[in-house]
A and B are shown apart, each in its own frame.
Chain A
Amino acid sequence: MTDVNAYHVEPKKIDEEIEEVEIKEELAIQTVGLKKHFGRGYNLVKAVDGINLEVKEGEVHGYLGPNGAGKTTSMLMIAGTIRPTAGKGYIFGKPIGSPAANKQLGVAIANPKFWKTMSAYKYLVYMGQLHGLEKTLAKERAKEFLHILEMTQHGHRLPVAFSTGMKAKLAVAQALMHHPRLAILDESTAGLDPESRFKLVNTIKELADILGTSIFVSGHILTEIEKLVSRVTIIVKGKIGLQGITLREMRKEFSTGQFSLECSNPEQVMQDLFNMGVTSQIFMDHNNVIIFTSDFIDSVYAWLPEILKRNGAILQQFGPLEVTLEEVFINVISKRYGSDFLYEDKILEEFQDEQKGIFGRLTRRSK
């Protein structure tokens, strides 16, 4: 009988905890224990499993994760098209899925679809009006954005006949034309060629700067994301793997402590550095760049000009080896799920573990 009471108390507690969370209106996105489970029984997919996101106003926030991690699902929950199973979310303090929240929001998704009978220009006008823009203003903005995205000459064409790149641009235009305070872009540059992608990313960044729009962006091309974002969140299997960290913090945290030195005559320079005895793990990579770690980096800085001079070498580049977002990404995923995460059979195995329940998962984690 006492057991029954215990069960009654627990869920209440959890509810209260969620209620207690302070709604921060200054945050562009705030989610508390946001969950989305699809299906039941054997088909149960915990697409998003209790995430707490925080995206600050005015920042460009990257949202990364491997395929099927739950990026799209969580973004669409914030955008209000998918209803959460549990948890709460706010856009500038307004509950997600409400018109008040969507008023401040613009959303573009990968592979956007359009109406078959509406020209690109009319589409933009319509979308602007739906966002509450008055008709003349919507028209003005539509023209403006067609121009900014270099599509003015295609304005009267039907977007269903557009190329992938143009469709993506049109989707971005409809997401930004009403000058939202927050834009959610889910792989908006998927399927674009490198040049168009570069242009689109730059345009988005410029517009965001000008309009003061916060951007929450996902994607798989990390070199591009790296250029765009100031902070990133990594999601793995519906759970947060790395929470809202700035690129600088990230570099520090994931830094290997390595330095790289690029100069002429690398062999001799490396020999001299080695003889100095202040470096460790010194080696040369296949691009003839010297890589080393050092506990006495100040002495290295002090001696380097001398060493170079002695060997008649010219310095090309020297500094701490920067970790790329890609490396962090793989690091985080492997940290959480073991370095074999990317092998399919391991994923399958884990899937089976999950079917077995919590115990299966626990034993795997502890490995």
Chain B
Amino acid sequence: MEEITQPDISAIVPMEIDSKRKRRKKDGKRSFGLFIIFQKTFRELLSLRRVLSYIALSIVFPFVFTMIVSGQLTGTLADMSIDFQIATVVNYFAFYSFFWNAGILLILYCGLIASTFISSEESGGTLIFLLTKPIKRTTLYVGKFLGYFANMAILQIVSLMFGLTITCTLFDVSSAVFMAGMKFLVPIYLYALLMIAVIGLMLGFLSIINKRMVISVLVIMFQIIFIYFLGIIFRVAIPTYYESGHLYLIDIGYNLSLIFTTFLGYFGFQPIPFFQQNFGLFFGTYVSMFSDVSEFIGSADPENGLTFLLPETGYINPIVSIIVMVAITALLFILGIIILERKDIGPQ
């Protein structure tokens, strides 16, 4: 902690007297408003408690799931061909990431932070002081967003590294497999960054128009349910109508999984039946077959396991998906700034 020393009293007043005008000009080197706000947001979010809880939660899912799966495998993974080992590890890791590390957990965390960007300052009565500073409201918002983005970007890469390490350790594979798996961190991380930005700007918009925590939590929960569990209900309950009624257009889960698998595909990702089964079932990325997962794992021959492929559904071009998502986010960003710029902030 920095010592607050008594200033040299004799220096206080005379210094000001002969320089009241000059000093204002002389200040010269000035602080950048955007950077100052970025810095504060970033530092506050980087508190030890927050980081530890995030990392701890992020490894729970890969840990539990890998434990279960590795128990179900016939024999140990290390005995099989190296390609099969890599494919298995990468597929499971991608699955965990999409569901948890860059999925539900990320949405929860990002959502909870982003939905307080403006609203917490507003209801806390501190926004009024910030707005009397020579800083544009837009700068304030962007500074907060960037601080959050940088913070989550760091947390996310750490979380993914831990996830991969845990998966490799529990499958008991060699370090060569781990190194090969590292390559796939890139597309997964890219996808995570996209999610951090999108969720941040969407819930950031909410933080401008809504001050109530209950509403924010409800919106986040609704978002998660919509992405992860609504599609499966559609596809099981009304399978024909899903396609003929073009329901996939509003199925966010499908669009996200499409973007995710496309990113992975650029890096030479080869899905195994387990991955295809589940993504087909939950998100409709592949033509789904409703049967037991373990059957595929058990029957997968080390040699031809990789060739057991389900066709992709390919309802939408993934590029279109990305463009639409980015466009909606950008729209919300612009709308949010317009509303923020017009907003009246009175005393509490």
Contacts and interface: CB of A to CB of B under 8 A. Distances in A.
Contact of A210 (B16, B125, B134): B16
A127 B133 contact: yes
Contact residues on A (Cβ < 8 Å of other chain), bracket:
35 or more
A156 B3 CA distance: 9
B40 interface: yes
B129 A127 contact: yes
Interface string B3-44: 011110100110011001101100111110100110010001
A152 interface: yes
Interface stretch (A61-69, A104-112, A283-291): A104-112
A138 B24 CA distance: 13
Contacts, number: 122
Interface in A106-161: 106-107, 109-117, 121, 126-127, 129-135, 137-138, 140, 143-144, 146-148, 152, 155-156
B126 A115 contact: yes
Interface in B129-144: 129-136
B7 A113 contact: no
Interface residues of B, number: 45
Contact of B129 (A112, A129, A144, A155): A112
Given A81-B128, A126-B36, A148-B12, A210 B20 contact: yes
B268 interface: no
Contacts of A72: 346-347
Contact of A132 (B7, B27, B129): B27
Contact of A109 (B17, B24, B342, B347): B347
A80 B347 contact: no
Contact of B344 (A81, A130, A174): A81
A113 B125 CA distance: 5
Contacts of B20: 179, 210-212
Contacts of A137: 27
B124 interface: yes
Contacts of A115: 124, 126
B23 A179 contact: yes
A147 B8 CA distance: 10
A197 interface: no
Given A112-B125, A127-B129, A143-B4, A132 B12 contact: no
Contacts of B21: 212
B21 to A, nearest CB: 8
B29 A134 contact: yes
B348 interface: yes
B31 A129 contact: yes
Interface of A: 72-73, 76, 79-83, 99-100, 102-103, 105-107, 109-117, 121, 126-127, 129-135, 137-138, 140, 143-144, 146-148, 152, 155-156, 171, 174, 179, 186, 210-212
Given A130-B31, A133-B30, 13 more contacts: A79-B132, A81-B128, A81-B131, A102-B132, A102-B135, A105-B134, A112-B129, A127-B133, A134-B29, A135-B31, A143-B4, A143-B6, A156-B1
Interface of B: 1-2, 4-7, 9, 12-13, 16-17, 20-21, 23-24, 27-31, 33, 36-37, 40, 44, 124-136, 342-348
Closest A-B pairs by Cβ, 8 of them: A113-B125, A103-B134, A107-B132, A155-B4, A99-B134, A102-B134, A132-B30, A130-B133
